[in-house]
Amino acid sequence: MAADVYLNVAVGGILTGLVYGLMALGLSVIFGVVRVVNFAHGEMMSIAMYLAVLLFSGLHLDPLVMMAPIAAVLFVFGYVLQAGLINPFINRPEHSQFLLLVALAIIIVNTLLIIFGPDARSAQTSYAFDSFQWGALIVDATKLYAGVAAIAFALLLFSFFRFAPVGKAIRACADNYTGALVVGLDVKRLYALTFGIGAACVGAAGVMMTLIVDVTPMIGPAYTLLAFVIVITGGLGSMAGALLGGLLIGVTEAHAGLLFTPSAKSMFVFAILVLVLLFRPQGIVGKRST
Amino acid sequence: MTGKIADSSPDSRPGKSARVLEPLLQGVSRRTLALLGVLLAALLIAPWLVSDYLITVLIVILYLAFTGQAWNIMMGFAGQLSLGHAIYAGLGAYIAALLFARFGVAPWLGFLVVMPVAAACGAIIGFLAFRFGVAGVYFAILTIAFAEFARIGFDHLAIVNASAGLFLPVAQYAHNDLWHLRGDPTMFYYVILAATVIAFLFCRALLMSRVGYFWLAIREDEQAARATGVDTFRYKMSAVMISAAVTSFGGVFYAFFYNNLFPEQVFNISRSIEIILGPIIGGLGTLFGPILGAFVLTGLAETLNAAMAAFGFDLPGAKQVFYGICLLFVVIALPEGIWPWLARRIGVTERLR
Amino acid sequence: MQRNIRLNRRRLLAAAAAGATGLAVPAIVRAQGAGNSAPLKVGVLLPRSGFEAGIGQDCQRGVDVAPAILKSLGLPELSIMNGDTESSVDVARERAEKLINDGAELLIGAFDSGQTTAIAQVAEQKGIPLVINIGAAPEITEQGYKFVFRNFPTAPMLLTSAFTNQLELFDIIGTAPKTVVYMHVNDTFGTAMTKGIGALMPKFNLPYKIVDEIAYDPAARDLSVEVAKAKAANADALLVVSRLNDAMLLTRELVKQRWTPQAIMSMGPGWYEDQYLKTLGKLSDGPISFDPFQDPNKRLAKVLEAELAKAYPGINLSTNHVYTFEALLVAADAYKRAGSADPKALADAIRTTNITDNVSIGPGIQFNAKGQNDKLKEGTIQNRGGKLVTLAPKDAATAKPEWPMTPYQNRV
């Protein structure tokens, strides 16, 4: 196959991977700090996607513009969810958390089905079919915008955790729970905040994802799984790891599809996961946890 | 812990038959036996009393009870969270179905082939996980990965017709053929009932044995168990392999009852979740939990369907929403599961600790 | 796109009895010898939730508009009992049992081959006729069942008809593609079709060769790699078996990657469906579908179309509605001729069905010894201006083919 095909696929894989990475970032933050196994992660993203579609079809507001408000809505959702429902489960065994979030996922998926119906929806913006061509390289416009937005959001998040006092407090909680308590941090509130931030991340990712894929009520679970794969591959608790993991998965998936039969490309993703779990469980970027 | 580890060790007791029965009945009150007996009797005569529709529902319940018990061995007893158990059921289903469709091999013989394969699969997953120190959530994700791998793999496997599905030849049901598992639902009902009862007794025997105690020790605190000299690797492996082998029979049953298999459905993660909901809701690590959980969950689903039909409420997805809300209530209000709470109420105690 | 949330007020008697306990003495009382005074209880099983919900709910529309039409044809009334298979084989089986338990005298369903197989087994065991509305797996009518009937082509039939129609099409336009890249969804339907292609294609003297075969995951949300591969094959045309969502995804990628094949030939659903036409607008023009379809020149097709437009404005008549409606038509017609709701009588009546005043393309509805309607023909339809035109067979044609497709880049 000609080289330009590989190039185009690689670029597409990178851009998609960035959006995957942003989605996984939310999970990394949640899992890394609050230690809750968020099995409703993909479902939360589908809520954001439906919001984007709704606002677009109803008020003709471009998803990229709506990214901030929708992320804010998801933030509130996440905060309330954590404070109200999930908090007692933080110290419970994994299977309890799992059941709680699976129940939540079932409720979300089917509520969306009832409200929006089963048909695929999308936000068909004016640039939905655009692509840029530079020589042999053809780049999907929507993917490019989404990828850039993902980087921007990730940088924003990164600086928040690095420089903002609240962000630093959250990192402290993650690094040393007892120490945080000793120092007098309101851990409960910080946990809720973190969950909210994670939800906001996934919300932003969802808005970007709306540009790339169509939303149906049932797409949540596949993305939840993908998010976990990326987070584990990249390294838990590491934001760079989540993005890198996303990139790796995005590119691998794309090339697996190109070189082998596309319907089996997920197998390679899982193969990577297995290899990472066995040989480098802390992930590419992660540090060995104590 | 019971503190009875010393004298309940089977090695110190005389007589083989005594050794089999005593551990099973040890510590079981007469009341418990009576209640179990009543339940068993009710299930035995059920087909004469209820409609065909309810027999089908009961078959589903017992199937989930059976596979739930199998999963419970690994999780409830040994503490290893598997979220990809569908792979064992799927392997069992496909191998037995293939042997029957191609070579006319009866399912019971097919199971003899299936069992070691499933156990080997479990051994591989277990080995990879335990040798490399993959535990907790990571282990769970690993099991999901393997199940997905199997799903996509079988979706491309020509010998089982890939995603077009494997269909078992279905002949007219002139009579029940137990050997080939061809017949009407009542026959299947008794087969799965027998399997569930045997699994129940088997789990009880396991729990009361040395292996069972070591499992509980590993579940409670693996580090401590290792410190006292328990070979945790060996016992965790045995839990995984036994659990896998037992689950695979459920798969064989499934294949012969439904007569068609699609990788997309058989290895789907929703099947894995289906298997584990019963034990978690019912009561992890308890003997009766998975069975109770299966009854409650399927009963709940069917009751919701019936209630919605009675009110003329025809909204696709509504039932699942109510179902999810009920699950939420149970997991929040009864963190240990329904059985421990219920058991206390009716005065039955399961002596596990 | 309208979203109807229906709250059905069902016949309380049947519903309450069902809702109570379900603990009934196994003897099911049937309306014997009551003639046609009582409506026939028909259980309709469709995947209305779960991953096939979109299609199931679309089929349901065919059910909703049926009663009025059947009445106008002088056929007896049907009492519809809805069952949601939730896109799951286990639930499908349970629902079938439940409906029969609640008195269903005939079953219709279920779109998905796996679920339909489970239901067929129950129907055969209980001796209740099942009329399959949609489902292409050939195995279902190869089991020697006496109570299962299918008024829909099997995968081999679909292919045979498609290839015949393609030859006819090439004849009409006087040209044909030399190379073709074949893309298909890797699910039950797609795989069955692909297997069939291997077996059947050599029997037809098709002018094109398949230069590459690309299978993609039905759950794939992003088909950019697949289309890149297809484009790299440098074929004249695209031959495809896909579903609705994939059709839209593929088209978007074709536009973005700037490749317009000479033609898109689809041998499955998706490319002619409402959502495809509406969502893609001008970009939806061109694809040619070889599908079981309504015959636009048939009287009943026009009636059905009008009724559908009344009940669901903006929804075009298509395969899902047509065949689901026809299943009910078969049921009502058999009930009239049998004169009783006795299942054996119904089954025998269905076997001798001969309806020529129907909706789908072909000589009409009859069933062979295996319970299969083997006379069904497919239509060749093309998307034009947001609507569908029929290109073949000749007696059903409404327009001339447009070949090759206008390049996507020139359309906006």
- CATH of residue A134's domain is 1.10.3470
Of B53, B312, B315, the CB nearest to C101: B53
In a domain, C371, yes or no: no
Give the tens place of pLDDT for each residue, B241-290.
Answer: 999 999 999 999 999 998 889 898 899 988 999 999 999 999 988 889 99
Q: Which two tokens stand for residue B113?
A: 């082939």
C37 and C80 belong to one structural domain: yes
C6 touches chain B (CB under 8 A): yes
**Inter-chain residue contact B152 with A94, CB threshold 8 Å:** no
Give the residue from chain C lying closest to B306, CA to CA. C19
Measured between alpha carbons, how far is B133 from C228 in angstroms, rounded to an integer? Answer: 41
Question: Is B325 exposed, middle or buried, given 0-12, 13-18 or 19+ CB atoms closer than 10 A?
Answer: middle
Per-residue pLDDT reduced to its tens digit, C374-412: 999 888 999 998 888 888 877 778 888 999 999 998 886
Q: Which domain holds residue A88?
A: 3-279
**Considering CB atoms only, which of B162, B173, B316 is closest to C57?**
B316
Q: Which of A141-150, A175-184, C271-280 has the lowest mean pLDDT?
A: A175-184
Q: What is the pLDDT of residues B134-167, one digit of tens each?
A: 888 888 889 999 999 999 999 889 888 888 888 8
Between positions 114 and 173 of C, the ones with CB within 8 A of B are 114, 117-118, 121, 124-126, 137, 139, 143-144
- Residue of chain A with shortest Cα separation from B138: A277
Q: Give the pLDDT of residue B5.
A: 43
Q: How many residues does chain C have?
A: 412
Q: How many CB atoms lie within 10 A of CB C11?
A: 13
**Alpha carbons within 13 A on the beta-carbon side of B158:** 2
Structure confidence at residue B16 (pLDDT): 58
Write down the pLDDT at residue C104. 94
User: Residue C39 maps to which CATH number?
Assistant: 3.40.50.2300
My answer on whether C324 and C340 are in the same domain is yes
Contacts B170 to C, Cβ<8 Å? 121, 143
Interface touch C245/A216, C-beta < 8 Å = yes
Would you state the pLDDT for residue C19? 44
Q: Is residue A61 part of a domain?
A: yes
C250 plus C389 within the same structural domain: yes
Please count the structural domains in chain C: 2
B309 interaction partners in chain C (CB closer than 8 Å) = 10, 15, 18-19
Cβ contacts below 8 Å, chain B against chain C, sum to: 132
For the stretch A97-129, pLDDT in tens is: 888 999 999 999 999 999 998 888 888 888 888
Does the structure show a pLDDT above 70 at B18? no
CB contact under 8 A, C214 and A262: yes
**C7, C114, C190: residue with CB nearest B262:** C114
Better pLDDT: B12 or C59? C59
Which chain B residue lies closest to C217 (C-alpha atoms)? B152
- The average pLDDT across A154-171 equals 86
More confident residue, C162 or B181: C162
Max distance between CA atoms of chain B, in angstroms, equals 64
Give the confidence band of C177 by pLDDT, cuts at 50, 70, 90: very high
User: Chain A contacts of B269, Cβ < 8 Å?
Assistant: 221, 225
Whether residue C367 is contained in a domain is answered as no
Size of interface A-C (CB pairs under 8 A): 110
Q: Which of C85, C129, C132 is nearest to C109 (CA)?
A: C132
Report the percentage of chain C scoring pLDDT > 90: 60
Cβ pair A154, A22 in contact under 8 A: yes
Query: Does an H or E element contain C148, and which?
Result: strand C148-150
Give B115 to chain A, closest Cα distance, Å.
24
Closest residue to A5, CB basis, from C221, C228, C249: C228
Concatenate the DSSP letters of all residues of C12-49 into one string.
HHHHHHHHHT----S------S-TTSSPEEEEEEE--S
Q: B325 to chain A: which residues are within 8 Å by CB?
A: 103, 107
What are the pLDDT digits (tens) for C192-229? Answer: 899 899 899 999 989 999 999 999 988 787 888 999 99
Task: Tell me, yes or no, whether A287 lies in a domain.
Answer: no
Tokens of A41: 């992660």
Q: Which chains touch C (3 or more CB pairs under 8 A)?
A: A, B
The per-residue pLDDT for range C257-308, each reduced to its tens digit, is 999 999 999 999 999 988 899 888 899 999 999 999 888 889 999 999 999 9
Whether the Cβ atoms of residue A127 and residue A142 lie closer than 8 Å to each other: yes
Rama region for C347: left / alpha / beta (φ>0; ψ in -120 to 50; rest): alpha
- Give which of C52, C117, C119, C147 to mutate to test B binding, by max B Cβ within 10 Å: C117
> What ipTM, to 2 d.p.?
0.86
Q: Pick the residue from chain B with its C-alpha nearest to A267.
A: B149
Q: What is the distance between the alpha carbons of residues C120 and C124, in angstroms, rounded to a whole number?
A: 6
What is the tens place of the pLDDT at every residue in B334-353? 888 899 888 888 877 765 43
| Whether pLDDT at C12 is above 50 | no
pLDDT, residue A212, reads: 84
pLDDT value for B20: 60
C59-76 average pLDDT score: 93
Q: Tell me, yes or no, whether A16 lies in a domain.
A: yes
pLDDT at B7: 45
Are residues C344 and C389 located together in one domain of the fold? no
Specify whether C265 is located in the same domain as C403: yes
Residue C160 and residue C267 in one domain: yes
pLDDT at A125: 82
Mean pLDDT score, A58-66: 87
From A192's Cα to the closest Cα of chain C, the distance in A is: 32
Interchain proximity A130–C222, CB inside 8 Å? no
Q: Is the pLDDT of residue B298 over 50?
A: yes
pLDDT score of B129 more than 70? yes
* pLDDT reading at A254 higher than 60: yes
State pLDDT tens for residues C17-44.
444 444 333 333 343 434 457 899 999 9
Summarised one tens digit per residue, pLDDT across range A194-240 is: 999 999 999 999 998 888 888 888 889 889 989 989 998 988 777 88
User: Under an 8 A CB cutoff, do A106 and B269 touch?
Assistant: no
What does the pLDDT read at residue B131?
85
Query: Does residue A285 belong to any structural domain of this protein?
Result: no
* Residues 6+ away with beta carbon under 8 Å from A162: A168
The answer to whether residue A192 sits within a structural domain is yes
- In Å, how far is B172's CA from the nearest CA of chain C? 8
- Provide the number of structural domains found in chain A: 1
CA C210 to chain centre: 26
Confidence at A29, pLDDT banded by 50, 70, 90: confident
CB contact under 8 A, B134 and A273: no
Q: Residue window 137-156, chain B: list those with CB within 8 Å of chain A.
A: 137-138, 140-142, 144-146, 148-149, 152-153, 155-156
Largest Cα–Cα separation, chain C: 69
| Residue among C8, C26, C118 whose CB faces B51 most closely | C26
Among candidates C18, C137, C188 on the partner chain, residue whose Cβ is nearest the Cβ of B309: C18
| pLDDT beyond 80 at B28 | no
| pLDDT bracket for residue A189 (50, 70, 90) | confident
The answer to whether residue C2 is domain-embedded is no
User: Which of B72, B80, B137, B271 should one mutate to test binding to chain A, selecting the residue with the greatest count of A CBs within 10 A?
Assistant: B137
Q: Which chains touch B (3 or more CB pairs under 8 A)?
A: A, C
Whether residue C86 sits in one domain with residue C54? yes
Quick one: CA torsion of C346, C350, C354, C359, rounded to 10 degrees?
110
Residue C5 confidence class, pLDDT cut points 50, 70, 90: very low
Chains in contact with A, where contact means 3 or more Cβ–Cβ distances below 8 Å, are: B, C
Query: In this structure, are C191 and C125 located in the same domain?
Result: no
Distances (CA, A) of A268 to A18, A242, A273, C166, C215: 18, 18, 9, 38, 16
Q: Does A54 touch chain C (CB under 8 A)?
A: no
Tell me the pLDDT band of A288, cut-offs 50, 70 and 90.
Answer: low
Give CB contacts under 8 A, 24+ apart, made by B209-212. B209/B10, B209/B23, B210/B9, B210/B10, B211/B235, B211/B238, B212/B77
* A286 lies in some domain: no
| Gap from B163 CA to chain C (nearest CA, Å) | 5
Domain range for residue C328?
A: 12-153+298-305+316-351
Query: What tokens were used for B171?
Result: 């002949």
Mean pLDDT lowest among A207-216, B37-46, B305-314, C365-374: B305-314
